Amino acid sequence: MFHIFSNLSKVAVFRKGVNKRLILNIGIPSVIFAIIGAFLSKYIDNKILELTYAIFLIVISLSLILYKTLTIKPTFFNSILGGALSGISTGILGSGGAIRGLTLAAFDFEKHIFITTSSIIDLGLDFSRSTVYFFNGYFHQHDLYLIPILIVVSILGSFLGKKILSKFSQFQFKYFVLFLILIIGIFMLGKNIWHYIS
């Protein structure tokens, strides 16, 4: 629910950066594969997938950081592939934004286009997987009190994010995103290694 409210507020705040072609090319496969992943989430051991996901994030983000001239062209195939990978990981693990972030960073899109496009796609993913999660029995009535809090926090976060974003150049924004994704990957890898050790 937080993701839904957060993305709605980001779309409202950054609405000038809509890229319709990209939304369709990445968004449609993302939503389809998120629904598939959400159904599979009941049957798949996500620990192995989390480990694979973490390694993937580390390798790709590190490659894009170290090789500054490395970019991926926003072709139809690359957009579909990025969307599908993002969708399946969102559906199964509940977290695919990092792959979409990698895809958009690799395409080297302007920061407002990056955020708005990602938020609109994420919104479609969140609505689709939330429906499946509801039928899987993941929602509980005792958690409903959190919804007003999540709405307020997501709106404040989006406005604060816009203020901070204005301080970043395009170059700084891209590498900030890549470093965050690298940290997420390292954290996930460490968590999984700790799980296997303990």
pLDDT, tens digit only, all 198 positions of the chain: 677 777 777 777 776 667 778 788 888 888 888 888 888 877 777 777 888 888 888 998 898 889 877 777 878 898 898 888 888 887 787 766 778 788 878 787 778 788 888 788 877 777 777 777 777 777 777 777 887 887 788 778 888 887 888 888 888 888 888 899 899 889 988 888 887 777
Q: What is the pTM of this model?
A: 0.71
Query: Is 29:87 a contact under the CB 8 Å cutoff?
Result: yes
Instruction: Answer yes or no: are the C-beta atoms of 195 and 51 closer than 8 Å.
Output: no
CB 32 within 8 Å of CB 40: no
Domain ranges of the chain: 2-137+145-191
Q: What is the pLDDT of residue 16?
A: 67
Confidence (pLDDT) at 44 = 76
Return the pLDDT at 183.
Answer: 93
H-only helix segments in the chain: 2-13, 20-40, 46-66, 76-93, 97-107, 111-135, 146-165, 170-197
Q: Quick check: 89 and 49 in contact, CB under 8 A?
A: yes
